[in-house]
Amino acid sequence: MKSKSKVSQTMLRQYFILVIPGFVIFTIGIIVPMILAFRYSFTSWDGMSAEKTFVGLKNYIKLINDQEVRDAWWFTIKFTIGNTVIQNILALLFAVALDSGIKAQKIYRTAFFIPCLISSIIVGFIWLRMYSNVLPAINDALGTSINFLLFGEADTVLGGLLIANNWQWIGYWMLIYLAGLQSIPGELYEAAKVDGAGPIKRFFNVTVPMLAPSFTICIVGITTGSLKVYDLLVSSTKGGPGRASTSIIYQTYTTAINGRQYGYGSAMSVSLVLVLLLVALIQVRSLKNKEVQA
Amino acid sequence: MLKKKKEDIVPQKYTKATLVTQILMGIVALLFLLPVFIIFSYSFKSKKELYLGSPLALPESFNLANYEAAFKKLNLSVTMFNTFFYTVVSVLILALLCGMTAWAIARCKHKFFKFAYIYFIIGILIPYQALFLPIYMVGNSLKLTNTRYGIIFMYVATGISFGIFLMNSFMSTVPLELEESARIDGCSVFKTYFLIVMPLLKPAMATLVIMQSFQIWNDYLLASLYVSKKQLKTLTVAIQSLFSAQASDYNTAMAAIVISVVPIAILFISLQKYFIKGMTVGAVKG
């Protein structure tokens, strides 16, 4: 690589030409909207009129005091934490179980993976039907009275959505942990065994540190994926009952697209972008530190 | 390969504990597949069975009436074509763009390219859903909404970050000697890339194409914002309107689900190897 440190002008220009198309598309498609959202967040634009009145920080002050937005954030945070904890633990557990030498590993892998091939919009509908039509039949069959109508009440809707989301994504993250597990050299386990470490000690002293890169990917991935939840809600709870399952994106959609408050909606988008960046930064930084130690 | 090594050194015995794990995971796997089974079962049930029969019962016969109804209500010949068209064109453009961008970034040591890599990575940290509102506004003012090229443009823009990240991680598999000898023979940067490097990136591109196809095929938010015209709609958008319109008659919806999931499931099962490679980039210590 060092032999090419003196790249001639022509070559440099040609390299530029290779990068420019992607650069321009990405800039127009993602970066310009980001900048515009920031700009519009200081206006009271309704999305139609030519005039975009500058209102300063008014939208942000409103954002902080808006009970609906607070509720939406609170739901999004609960949903994100729930997913991150449950999905990581179960995905790792499943991966360890599949890697423990059981037969027909491939069939299990495919079974767990199938749900994540399905669009979230469909997953939402499937669980709506599961809770309201299919599962209550178990009560009829067994004579029990378990409450399966999880989307019907504000207290249970989060649990219902967590089940749906975990059903969809556990298989995906499990595959990542599985690949991580399979890349750990067997010598490490042998050495730990010779040192007299039991299975639990081996798990925490060999497996967990060696899985550090997988942890980073899964934790960051699940967090970002949960913060942006929207599709799942559209076809299942529609943000309800009441506003009990309104996520921040859902709230932005209702405010901006249905309520024609583009300026205020932009402020919500900006706040979400900032949260996403902050969370990713903190997570990557602290997790990468662990990776180095390992 | 690493997996084999592990098995050679630590032969895993099939003990009682393994048997217990096997049975437990078997039960969990069956629970996981229950909703899938229910969808298939409902998609063949008649209206009468829907209202009177037990939800857990098998359909009485394999009647295809729901599939016919779904075919019509989804406007399937149009929506399926649209979804297929948007997906295929977008992933091909992505494969082309991400390959050359990632290669240029990996090979050229100029400051701009280092900056460009970080710039593109922003798109992974901020999923487009967070920006759906300004993306929609930009689409409106640039007249990208309700056009085929508009939505394809956006799929490329939203997929490019992950694509470059993915291709970048494959660049070490391209031997530098080949590129250098091409250069000594007087090949330009373009010729080197398109004649020497790109053919070597085929496995990486296959991975990229599969990962992105699956994203775009299943996308709902962008499609619902960008294409509302009847003849441009995608499958997911049509399915969502079917879900809300057919609240009581949901066996048609179940048939629609089967229709929309089958193509992507076939793609996954036949190309699993590439898919898993793409998913696990960065998760395995090099």
Task: Tell whether the model's pLDDT for residue A43 goes beyond 70.
Answer: yes
Contact A112 B176 (CB under 8 A): no
Residue of B132, B193, B194, B224 to mutate, testing the A interface (most A Cβ within 10 Å of its Cβ)? B132
Distance between CA B200 and CA A150 in Å, rounded? Answer: 51
Distance between CA A216 and CA A176 in Å, rounded? Answer: 11
Cβ of B13 under 8 Å from any chain A Cβ? yes
Structure tokens at B139: 């689409």
Task: Tell whether the model's pLDDT for residue A175 goes beyond 70.
Answer: yes
Contacts for A154 with CB less than 8 Å, ≥ 6 apart: A241, A242, A244
Alpha carbon distances (Å) from A221 to A88, A94, B49, B219, B281: 10, 18, 42, 17, 13
Q: How many domains does chain A have?
A: 1
Kindly report the nearest CA distance between residue A115 and chain B, in angstroms.
8
- Is the pTM for the entire model greater than 0.95? no
Kindly report the nearest CA distance between residue A155 and chain B, in angstroms.
24
Contact B18 A14 (CB under 8 A): no
Q: How many residues would you count in chain B?
A: 286
Residue A14, domain member (yes or no): no
Say which range, B10-14, B23-27, B249-253, has the weakest mean pLDDT.
B10-14
Contact B125 A101 (CB under 8 A): no
Task: Tell whether the model's pLDDT for residue B166 goes beyond 80.
Answer: yes
Question: CATH fold of B69-279, please?
Answer: MetI-like fold (1.10.3720)
**Short-list B131, B184, B190, CA closest to B158:** B131
Structure tokens at A47: 């999305």
> What CATH number does residue A281 fall under?
1.10.3720.10
Structural domain that includes position A85: 52-293
- So what's the ipTM on this one? 0.84
Residue A180: CB atoms within 10 A of its CB come to 25
Residue A30, domain member (yes or no): no
Structure tokens at B218: 């299943």
Q: How sure is the predictor about A46, in pLDDT bands with cuts at 50, 70 and 90?
A: confident
Partner residue facing B243 (CB), from A125, A184, A256: A125
Q: Where are the domains positioned within chain B?
A: 14-63, 69-279
Tokens 């729930």 belong to A82
* Residues on chain B touching A176 (C-beta within 8 angstroms): 279-280, 283
Kindly report the nearest CA distance between residue B270 and chain A, in angstroms.
12
**Short-list A85, A16, A239, CA closest to B103:** A16
Cβ of A154 under 8 Å from any chain B Cβ? no
Cβ of B58 under 8 Å from any chain A Cβ? no
Residue A10, domain member (yes or no): no
Kindly report the nearest CA distance between residue B264 and chain A, in angstroms.
7
Q: How confident is the model over A85-141, as pLDDT tens digits?
A: 999 999 999 998 888 878 888 888 888 988 988 999 999 999 988 888 888 887 877
Q: How sure is the predictor about B8, in pLDDT bands with cuts at 50, 70 and 90?
A: very low
What is the mean pLDDT of the segment spanning A150-165?
Answer: 87
